[in-house]
Amino acid sequence: MYSIAIHGGAGTLAKHLFTPEKEKAYQDALALAIAAGDVILKNKGTSLDAVQAAITVLEDCPLFNAGKGAVFTHDKRHEMDASLMEGISLKAGAVAGVSNVKNPIQLARLIMEKSEHVLLCGKGAEDFGRLNKISFEDDAYFFDELRWNQLLQVINEDGAHLDHNVNVEIPDKKFGTVGAVALDVYGNLAAGTSTGGMTNKRWGRVGDSPIIGAGTYANNATCAVSCTGHGEYFIRAVVAYDISCLMEYAGLTLELACKKVVNDKLVKFGGEGGLIAIDTKGNICLPFNSEGMYRAWKTHDTEINTSIF
Ligand code: ASP
């Protein structure tokens, strides 16, 4: 038995702005990513490998706000965050504020496996990646015209913006931190998340995605969780760990824990977003309190399912 779920970001999608072609492009990209994880799980690979493989496909796709499609910072750069965690060992790796790294999730994995640390940031993290021979790309690889226009819309404002909230006048709402959660045939859980963060962010702003317990968490005693949404709220609500705690200490099912955190606590708090979660029985929950969330899921005995709204 195995299961896998992925997300490509949550936000205020306006359904009427989606053409059938655009919707298909997202659904195809999600299906490709979940298939990359599925083939690993089917061949008795680990949930950690499946999570990394699915996220890598999404990082390489310009439709999503991670890797190649990462949003611009106020300084017209890309600063990416990623993390992943393994439920059997509670080992985790994370990276924050790195530039030009082709696949930040790969760097997070290296930090988990080849360093004595959990979270590395900025230049130091890039140096660690170079030492371990990960791929770097030049700025042109990360340039995307829509992301650039999103930045120009808000560059003179003070705040940072979730990428999907910026595009009021552009009828093409691209957005999406990416993440994956999986249960493998050995009963082990894993979770991972990768993002470019928020458009126009500055001062080295870091959101929830690389924060273990906030944006990502996995524990074989409970569940694996990957979040997407307004990171500041997700950090303050310690969202991913909160779901796990509600299961571990209060005995809630995955579904009830997700409902409580996403549709009750976060809503009262003002935190827009959603998450994907999976438990040790392979149950999958994909709650969100925004208008939509790009998502896909599959178990050992079902087909690939994709959904946006
Ligand atoms: N959670 C991410 C952040 O705040 C953004 C997102 O999920 O789209 O950096």
Q: What is the DSSP string of 74-95?
A: TTS---EEEEEEETTT--EEEE
For the ranges 169-173, 175-179, 206-210, the lowest mean pLDDT is seen at 169-173
Check whether 46 has a pLDDT greater than 90.
Answer: yes
Ligand 1 pocket residue status of 180, Cβ below 6 Å: no
The CA 229 to ligand 1 mean position distance, Å, reads 5
Q: What percentage of the chain reaches a pLDDT higher than 90?
A: 81
Confidence (pLDDT) at 160 = 74
Query: Whose Cα sits closest to atom 4 in ligand 1?
Result: 231
212 CA distance to ligand 1 middle (Å): 14
Q: Find out whether the beta carbon of 198 lies less than 6 Å from any atom of ligand 1.
A: yes
pLDDT above 90 (res 235): yes
> Which ligand 1 atom is at minimum distance from the Cα of 205?
9
**222-247 mean pLDDT:** 97
Closest CA to 101 of 134, 52, 76, 144: 134
**Among 44-48, 64-68, 167-171, 259-263, where is mean pLDDT lowest?**
167-171
Name the superfamily (CATH) of residues 3-307. (Glycosyl)asparaginase (3.60.20.30)
pLDDT at residue 171, rounded to an integer: 36
Structure tokens, 295? 């998502």
- pLDDT of 281-298, one tens digit each? 999 999 999 989 999 999
Lowest mean pLDDT among 20-29, 146-155, 249-258: 146-155
Domain boundaries, the chain: 3-307
Closest residue to atom 8 of ligand 1, CA basis:
177
Q: Is the CB of residue 228 below 6 angstroms from any atom belonging to ligand 1?
A: yes
Give yes or no for residue 12 having a pLDDT over 50. Answer: yes
276 CB within 6 A, ligand 1? no
Closest among 241, 287, 296 to 38, alpha carbons compared: 296
Pairing label, strands 189-195, 178-183: antiparallel
3-state class of 63 per DSSP? Answer: coil
Q: What is the pLDDT of residue 165?
A: 56
Ligand 1 contacts CB of residue 195 (under 6 A): yes
Dihedral of CA 51/56/61/62: which sign? positive
Give 17-41 pLDDT, tens digit per residue: 778 888 899 999 999 999 999 999 9
CA distance 239 to 233: 9
pLDDT at 213 over 80: yes
CA of 208 to the centre of ligand 1 (A): 7
Amino acid identity of 235? Answer: I
5 neighbors 276 (Cβ within 8 angstroms): yes
Query: pLDDT band at 174, cuts 50/70/90?
Result: very low
Residues 288 and 191: beta-carbon distance below 8 Å: no
Mutate to test the pocket of ligand 1, among 63, 150, 177 (most ligand atoms within 8 A of CB): 177
pLDDT in tens, 84-105: 999 999 999 999 999 999 999 9
User: Phi/psi zone of residue 176: left (φ > 0), alpha (ψ -120 to 50 degrees), beta?
Assistant: left
Q: Is the predicted pLDDT of residue 158 greater than 90, yes or no?
A: no
Q: Given this model, what pLDDT does residue 154 score?
A: 84
- Name which residue leads in pLDDT, 165 or 85: 85
Atom of ligand 1 nearest to the CA of 162: 8
Query: What is the pLDDT, as a whole number, of residue 163?
Result: 66
How confident is the model at residue 95, as a pLDDT? 98
For residue 207 and ligand 1, the question of a CB distance below 6 A is answered with yes
Does the pLDDT at position 166 exceed 60?
A: no
Q: Which H or E run includes 236?
A: helix 231-236
